[in-house]
Amino acid sequence: MASSSCTSLCSSPPLPRIASTKQNISALCSLFKSINQTKSYPLLFTSRASSFAIIVKASGEGNVEPEKYEEYEVEIVQPYGLKFAKGRDGGTYIDAIAPGGFADKTGMFNVGDKVLATSAVFGEEIWPAAEYGRTMYTIRQRIGPLLMKMQKRYGQPFDNNGELTEKEIIRAERNAGFISDRVREIQMTNAMRLKEQKERRKMDLREGLQLYKNEKYEEALEKFESVLGSRPSPDEASVASYNVACCYSKLNQIQAGLSALEDAMKDGYEDFKRIRTDPDLANLRTSADFESLMKRFDETFINENAINAIKSIFGIFNKK
């Protein structure tokens, strides 16, 4: 277990819905029908009929304009090839899609899409994606194909409530030939937000460690996953992922634990001696995949074996 002595680790209300007119529904259904007729999907996954909803969005002039979004469902299998992040509303969003991965091959997912619901850990029950940590716990531990109900957001950012970013405003003002005080205000707001996020990550880590100490491993997982979903630094991510691996080891969820341990080492966790001796990872070390995983990252262990082999050879020569 990575304690708090390791590298220090360091949301908007839903928009109201408006009623759809018959004309809106008819037009949207016609649009979706034409999409279904023209788009072919690979036989790597199953998808269910999409639905449309109408939400309202305030324009710059104070008017209220309707904006549609689409919901879709896709069933995928591991490895999913998706990376998730926590939005300011506490929801779960797609942060990255691995090229050539299972999710990428479906052609359905886009960065920024929101997870609305997923399959339960096992069985056919569907659980709402109400909170990031719990959703990630479900996705990681899912047994069998994972059904995901998604909200397509057409590339809209999920961490700033749709507001223009600092770079976008600077670019727009330069094109207009002036620089306003708004950039400074945004810079200050962003700095405060980053500070708050860092403090939140520290708090989640502390609470997770306490829950782990009390043997509440599932609740601890939610806290550590929350850290990982809040854009942590590599050091923060490596410590959080290591602790996630410890939780899964305690729960005897071997593959999920090895996956988290791999994430930790990818983010720079290099205390390989600890990994090989930490009693909290004992269950993971029983897996045949543990050593092959370690050999990918622990170069000192590989070099040590090579040196021992060379010494053995020269030892034979000396005997002669």
Q: Mean pLDDT per segment of 10 residues, for the chain of length 320 residues?
A: 49 38 46 43 45 47 56 92 88 92 92 94 90 87 91 75 57 67 73 86 94 95 90 92 96 92 94 95 96 89 53 51
Q: What is the CATH number of the domain that holds 278?
A: 1.25.40
Task: Answer yes or no: do 27 and 135 share one domain.
Answer: yes
Q: Residue 189 falls within a domain, yes or no?
A: yes
CA dist 292 and 278 (Å) reads 18
Q: Residue 262 falls within a domain, yes or no?
A: yes
Task: Answer yes or no: do 171 and 132 share one domain.
Answer: no
The reported pLDDT for the residue numbered 286 is: 96
Total domains, the chain: 2
Task: Answer yes or no: do 105 and 193 share one domain.
Answer: no
The reported pLDDT for the residue numbered 213 is: 96
Q: Per residue in 202-224, is it b (16+ CB within 10 Å) or e — as a string?
A: bebbebbbebbeeeebebbbbbb
Q: Residue 172 falls within a domain, yes or no?
A: yes
CA dist 230 and 87 (Å) reads 8
Task: Answer yes or no: do 89 and 180 share one domain.
Answer: no
Task: Answer yes or no: do 171 and 147 share one domain.
Answer: no
Q: Residue 312 falls within a domain, yes or no?
A: no
Task: Answer yes or no: do 116 and 141 share one domain.
Answer: yes
Task: Answer yes or no: do 43 and 110 share one domain.
Answer: yes
Return the sign of the alpha-carbon dihedral for residues 162, 167, 168, 169.
Answer: positive
Q: Which amino acid is at 315?
A: G
The reported pLDDT for the residue numbered 148 is: 96
Point out the domain boundary residue: 119, 152, 185. Answer: 152
Q: For residue 230, how many other CB atoms are within 10 A of its CB?
A: 21
Point out the domain boundary residue: 152, 183, 200. Answer: 152
Task: Answer yes or no: do 188 and 90 share one domain.
Answer: no
Q: Residue 13 falls within a domain, yes or no?
A: no
CA dist 87 and 94 (Å) reads 10
- Whole domain around residue 27: which residue ranges? 22-152
Task: Answer yes or no: do 112 and 186 share one domain.
Answer: no
Task: Answer yes or no: do 66 and 172 share one domain.
Answer: no
Q: Residue 75 falls within a domain, yes or no?
A: yes
The reported pLDDT for the residue numbered 301 is: 56
Q: How far apart are the first and last CA of the chain?
A: 49
Task: Answer yes or no: do 100 and 181 share one domain.
Answer: no
Q: Residue 51 falls within a domain, yes or no?
A: yes
Q: Residue 14 falls within a domain, yes or no?
A: no
Q: Is this prediction's pTM over 0.85?
A: no
Task: Answer yes or no: do 187 and 98 share one domain.
Answer: no
